[in-house]
Structure 1
């Protein structure tokens, strides 16, 4: 007489169901954590679902370039308004230097969180250098490696104004015709969002 197979009791089936539920919950938790990171990486790398609207006025630099990639060696721990002059610092360049100082002043209470600087590839004229010393006492001055600058920007002639974060990363770039109000709004917005510098 053969022995009859006993069906699993209800108490034995419960642990199997509990294990299955536990695995599903663990899988959902892992997907909830890793999924958004994978999605964000895909959006960045493949440029899909990227919003067209923007709230800034300059050209966003989001590729990890730093101040050194412009050919400027500096150690500034604050936000910086950097004017680059790959040629002589003529009218457009001088206007950007003036604008950088005015923007810093325009920050009011937040002015201590930013600095303004000029990086020039060629020596400044004696007259302009004297004027900068007299009228722009807080202006930091650096040499600019024109070859590195040209390689990074593809432009060996036009002066630009850059917003650089306290870690030295390039954030925004502006052409000589930038409006001061737009630049000031951009920098205020960055300072408001940032806990550094």
Structure 2
């Protein structure tokens, strides 16, 4: 008789249980992570680095066909090849002190972009307040009906919303009136990393 245990035809019951346990653990690890990811995805959770402070417009408003008019005359072109992001505001004509403060806040936001500031413009749609700081990044546009329609809920009774427009001319973010300018800076800084 051959007494070598390696040639035995019946497996050891403890090894069978151990093998099954390992297989079940691998199954749970694989499908459990997929199930957990699905639960997090459909519950609306997002990693901190992908969250934005503004309202993501879904779908984004396509303003590519709109040809904004500069207040000084002529057209403002989107020019996607320049990879220019825009922060846009369209305050009411009766805006005074609030508009002056908003113009100052947006100027500070623009300055904080540092070497990336060359890729951001501020679009001021309407009359610029008298106390607004002078900045090379600001373009004053006429409030044409086509342009105003491209800005969702622009006539917010709570105040002046702020928008972010991508280099192609899509309005992608809306900030509620009174939003901390630091939040706008944080979100646009993330977008600037894409260029």
The two structures have a TM-score, normalised by structure 1, of 0.58
Task: Supply the distance in 2 between the matched residues of 1:68 and 1:89 (Cα, whole angstroms).
Answer: 28
* 8 Å CA contact 1:65, 1:169 repeated in 2: yes
What is the correspondence of 1:107-118 to structure 2 with a 5 Å cutoff? 107-118=113-124
Which of 147-156 and 48-57 deviates more? Answer: 147-156
CA contact (8 A) 1:71 1:146 kept: no
Query: What SS does the corresponding residue of 1:153 show, helix, strand or coil?
Result: coil
Q: Which residue of 2 aligns with 1:170?
A: 171
Decide which of 39, 51, 54 is 1:55's aligned counterpart. Answer: 51
Give the match for residue 96 of structure 1: 102
- State the match for 1:142 in structure 2: 141
**SS, match of residue 62 in structure 1:** strand
**What do you get for the CA RMSD once the two structures are aligned?**
3.1
Does the C-alpha gap of structure 1 residues 151 and 189 become closer, same or farther in structure 2, counting only changes over 3 Å?
closer
**Equivalent residues of 1:71, 1:144 under 8 A apart:** no
* Kept in 2: contact 1:86–1:149 (CA 8 A): no
Query: How many angstroms apart in 1 are the aligned matches of 2:180 and 2:163?
Result: 14
Write the deviation string for residues 65-124 of structure 1: whole angstroms up to 9, x where unpaired: 13468994532441011111144333333322222211111011111111112001xx45
**Structure 2 residues without counterparts, runs of 5 or longer:** 1-40, 70-75
Partner of 2:22 in structure 1?
none
Higher helix share: 1
Q: Which residue of 1 aligns with 2:125?
A: 119
- Mapped contact 1:82–1:162 kept (Cα < 8 A): yes
Name 2:73's counterpart in structure 1: none
Count of residue pairs the alignment pairs up: 140
Shift of 1:170: 0.8
Q: Is the 8 A contact 1:70 1:145 kept in 2?
A: no
Q: Give secondary structure in 2 for the equivalent of 1:104.
A: helix
> 103-112 or 138-147: which moved more?
138-147
1:1-197 to 2 correspondence within 5 Å?
49=42, 51-53=44-46, 55-67=51-63, 72-73=68-69, 74-77=76-79, 78-120=84-126, 123-124=127-128, 128=130, 131-132=131-132, 135-145=134-144, 149=148, 153-157=152-156, 158-192=159-193, 194-195=194-195
